[in-house]
Amino acid sequence: MKKIRLKRFVQQENQSRTYKIDYESLLNEEQLKAVCHKEGPAIAVAGAGTGKTRTLIYRLARLIEDGIDAKSILLLTFTRRAAQEMLVRTAGLLDDRVSKVFGGTFHSFCLSILKKSTNKLGYSDNFNVIDQSDSEELISIARQEIINKYKIKGKFLNKSQLLWIYSSSINRSEPVLDLLIRQHPKYVDSYDKIVEIYSEYNKIKLKSNVMDYDDLLVKTKELLKTDELTYTKIQERFKYIMVDEYQDTNRLQHELVLLLAGKNNNVFVVGDDAQSIYSFRGSELNNILFFPDNFEHCSIYYIKQNYRSTQQVLNLANAVLKNSLLSYNKELYSIDKQGELPKLVFAKDAIEQAMFVAQTIVESNEDGVNLKDIAVLFRSSFHSYELEMELNTLKIPYVKFGGIKLLEAAHIKDINAYLRVVSNPADFTAWNRILKLENNIGDKTAYSIIQFIQSLEEHNIENIATQVTLKFTRINLDNLFKILTKSSLLEQPKEVIHTVNQHYFPLLEKIYKLDSLERVKDIELYLTIASKYKNLDDFLNENLINPVNHSVSENGMESDEDEVLTLSTIHSAKGLEWKVVFIISAVEGSFPNYRSASDVEQLEEERRLFYVAVTRAKDDLYVVAPSHLRESFYGVDLNKVTRFLDNIEEDTIEKCIIESD
């Protein structure tokens, strides 16, 4: 006995002195300090390109090497991709223990908690998650009911304005009335009705057994606050919380973090106040600025040394921030990496811009730069349309991030609706969608059928089929019901899709005469994603929370993974880097977006967005400004280069014009 004890003691002693990873030589001084932080609350303020991800990864490894059970670590990131990438990289440094860490977004974390305990909230556990357009659809129904009830005449807030109010209220923890006064003062008198629409919306969701994105967060918070048992269990399970991109969390997420930290009090967050770009979604800079105020002893680490970019790129980035009204936490300094001056390129219009970018890409590629090391970034996803056409003619393969997702494409939404009905036969929006695909069924008929379905006692497909057939004799839905019944007996999402297709493909060909082939290809892609899941419910919900981009790589026939160019909105480019970066459509009206032009805070956010774009570049940066973008923008001076390049010293950026031959 004695012997064994002695042996273990010595091993532990050794372990605390020698780590598998040589942290001291792999990290700089600033990073090392943060990485070695073990217990208690801490915040690391890390500028762009300073190795923020690296810091998180090494801290994760360090915790595990220090003997912390990986199962008790929670890593919250902004996208699921980011979480997975970090876990894979950590596993590469260390070993398989890492796979026990729970990594994901706030939404996916909340979903996993709710799936285990929704009955406490009145939902059944086969609930579906709905996206923004489904939310709007349901709000529009609630809205119509209230309008009819009170015989409201004339203009009224539309569905997206209503959703904005409700969603902001939740995410910012602000009363609806305050938001109404601030954003739509004209409608303050309708406050009661707006609240009534909201409660009607919530009722419809409950009846349909669906949750929107906000519900995931808000119901989790509710659960943790009201259900002692669940809260204790979570506290015991997750002892170490790490949160990435903290500048983009909102008030509600911040409250969740504080709850999750609880008695354990081991929260480690990382962020950069200069990169906050999600305030339209309720993110709050104060969460990061005043983070230490939430705790008695909070350690603060600053990481400023930039490894990513040349000094020339950083000079431009610093200059962009310097002209800001706010003062940000840092000026980046590089490791003395020298390169070319960033270029500001003037183009005649969007077509010339596209030609310039495509040709420069071809030339860089011929000079030995891989396509995967090049990115084209833009403010709004439609800014890349002309470029995409040009890339297609030149047969340059690309992936596009941001903009339309696979799941948002009409035909995939159709397929999804069938699956949702199979998984959750009370789902209003799903029924609505598939019913309206049938002949001679429009809004009205669909609505009354769904009302009838929801009023039924038993929500299983067979019962619904019999009852609806009896009641609505005018319409023949035999084929639809046959397929749904057949599907409801299957487990595998892949097989359900196959079955559903027997019914859907003829409809698809009729609806999308011109491009039905393209759409069938999408559905095949969707099938390959589906085949990775064994359970329909998981497939539906996880897909919605971690959506796959509807990226087009149509021309290059699935060439080398290495040889694909990236097109991306700046929002989706967060955290990533490329050797060569183009920022296109950098003109007033487009960037900053004309809708932000009248609001100081929104303009500041656009400036930070521009800063994020600039700091993605490692070596070469081109900012392109086409003078005639589109005729139709309201009164914005389109010939003007983006204001973010105003008052910048001459030798920071080189102005160029395109010579055509």
Chain positions contacting DNA, by CB under 7 A: 78-79, 105-108, 131-133, 213, 277-278, 280-281, 379-382, 401-405, 409-410, 436, 438-446, 515, 518, 545, 547, 569, 571-572, 593, 595-596, 602, 630, 632
- Cβ at position 362, least distance to DNA in Å: 25
Nearer to DNA among residue 75 and residue 496 (C-beta) = 75
CB of 358 to DNA, least distance (A): 20
Give which of 418, 360, 104 is closest to 244, Cα–Cα. Answer: 104
* Least distance in angstroms from the C-beta of 139 to DNA: 11
Cβ atoms of 168 and 184 within 8 Å: the answer is: no
- Asked if residue 526 lies in contact with residue 497, where contact means CB atoms within 8 angstroms, the answer is yes
Peptide bond just before 592 cis, omega within 30 deg: yes
| Cβ-contact 377, 387 below 8 angstroms | no
Say what angle helices 213-226 and 251-261 make with each other, to 10 degrees.
Answer: 30
Q: How far is the CB of 571 from DNA (least distance, A)?
A: 4
The residue among 79 and 306 lying less far from DNA, judged by its C-beta, is 79
Beta bridge partners, 374, equal: 580
| Minimum distance of DNA from residue 136's CB (angstroms) | 8
User: For residues 58 and 102, which CB has a smaller minimum distance to DNA in the complex?
Assistant: 102
Q: For residue 296, give every residue at least 6 positions away whose Cβ sits within 8 Å of its Cβ, in sequence order, or none.
A: none
Question: Which of 213/611 has CB closer to DNA?
Answer: 213
CA dist., res. 199 & res. 163, Å (int): 12
Instruction: Tell me the C-alpha distance between 556 and 521, whole Å.
Output: 16
* Distance, CA of 493 to chain centre: 24
In single-letter form, the type of residue at position 346 comes to: F
Secondary structure class of 646 (helix, strand, coil): coil
Q: How far is the CB of 37 from DNA (least distance, A)?
A: 27
DSSP one-letter code for 409: S
- CB nearer to DNA: pick between 62 and 574: 574
Minimum CB–partner distance for residue 381 and DNA (Å) = 3
Rounded distance between C-alpha atoms, residue 315 and residue 318, angstroms: 5
Residue nearer to DNA on the CB measure, 94 or 204:
204
Q: Which two tokens stand for residue 548?
A: 């796959």
Question: Hey, what are 223's tokens?
Answer: 């659960």
Collect all residues with Cβ–Cβ distance below 8 Å to 259 and sequence separation of at least 6: 221, 224, 225, 231
Q: Which is nearer to DNA, 441 or 525 (CB)?
A: 441
Shortest distance, CB of residue 210 to DNA, whole angstroms? 15
Between 213 and 622, CB nearer to DNA: 213
